[in-house]
């Protein structure tokens, strides 16, 4: 019996669950469903294929396997590209933020300037100083600080903004020699 004697609906109902189970051996759920649907669409677009029931089974399973392999290859290339781009970004960030490029940056990290910064931070209002230190010294997020201090996240953000603005004004008066 050729596939022409079997309706597409019968074929779909008979093979879809089996092909999904097979595709799930290789791929995640959504990808497996997509692959099996693509196989059926490809099959539908080529109605001139003359397959009997004995060769149809092998054809469908092989088509699903090939599409799974293609999907895995695509995902691998995509992940490698994302990983390479991420590494490049980290390298650029590292070069920008963590290397001494000129005299001004050297002066920013000098002991004298650090003392001036510490003095300016200590002069901040108590609540703002506490928020500022949690944020910069302890690397807490605004959400974490809000939870710790039981205040709103926007209040935390306002404290941080105000402290930074105050420090900029105080530290702008310092001349870097």
Q: What is the pLDDT of residue 77?
A: 80
Domain boundaries, the chain: 3-94, 103-172
Q: What is the pLDDT of residue 150?
A: 93
| The dihedral sign for the CA sequence 169, 126, 149, 114 | positive
Q: What is the pLDDT of residue 107?
A: 57
Q: Residue ranges of the chain with pLDDT lower than 50?
A: 1-4, 176-177
The topology under which CATH files domain 3-94 is Rna Polymerase Sigma Factor; Chain: A (1.10.1740)
What's the CATH code, domain 103-172? 1.10.10.10
Q: Is the CB of residue 151 less than 8 Å from the CB of residue 157?
A: no
Q: What is the pLDDT of residue 65?
A: 92
Q: What is the pLDDT of residue 105?
A: 56
Q: What is the pLDDT of residue 148?
A: 92
What Cα–Cα distance (Å) separates residue 161 from each residue in 97, 135, 154, 170?
21, 11, 10, 14
Q: What is the pLDDT of residue 51?
A: 67
Structure confidence by residue, pLDDT tens digits, 13-53: 889 999 999 899 988 989 999 999 999 998 888 766 666 67
Instruction: Kindly provide the residue ranges of all beta strands, DSSP E only, lying in 15-137, ordered along the sequence.
Output: none
As a whole number of Å, the CA-based R_g of the chain is 31
Q: What is the pLDDT of residue 103?
A: 59
């Amino acid at each position: 019996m050729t596939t022409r004697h079997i309706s597409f609906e019968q074929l779909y109902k008979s093979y879809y669950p089996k092909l999904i189970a097979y595709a799930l051996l290789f791929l995640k759920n959504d990808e497996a469903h997509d692959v099996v649907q693509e196989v059926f669409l490809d099959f539908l677009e080529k109605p001139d294929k003359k397959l009997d029931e004995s060769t149809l089974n092998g054809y469908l399973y092989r088509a699903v396997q090939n599409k799974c392999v293609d999907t895995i290859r695509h995902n691998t290339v995509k992940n490698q590209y994302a990983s390479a781009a991420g590494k490049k970004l980290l390298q650029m960030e590292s070069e920008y933020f963590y290397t001494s490029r000129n005299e001004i940056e050297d002066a920013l990290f000098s002991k004298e300037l650090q003392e001036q910064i510490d003095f300016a931070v200590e002069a901040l209002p108590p609540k703002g100083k506490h928020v500022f230190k949690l944020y910069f010294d302890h690397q807490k997020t605004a959400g974490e600080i809000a939870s710790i201090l039981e205040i709103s996240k926007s209040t935390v953000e306002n404290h941080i903004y105000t402290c930074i603005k105050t420090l900029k004004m105080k530290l702008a008066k310092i001349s870097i020699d």
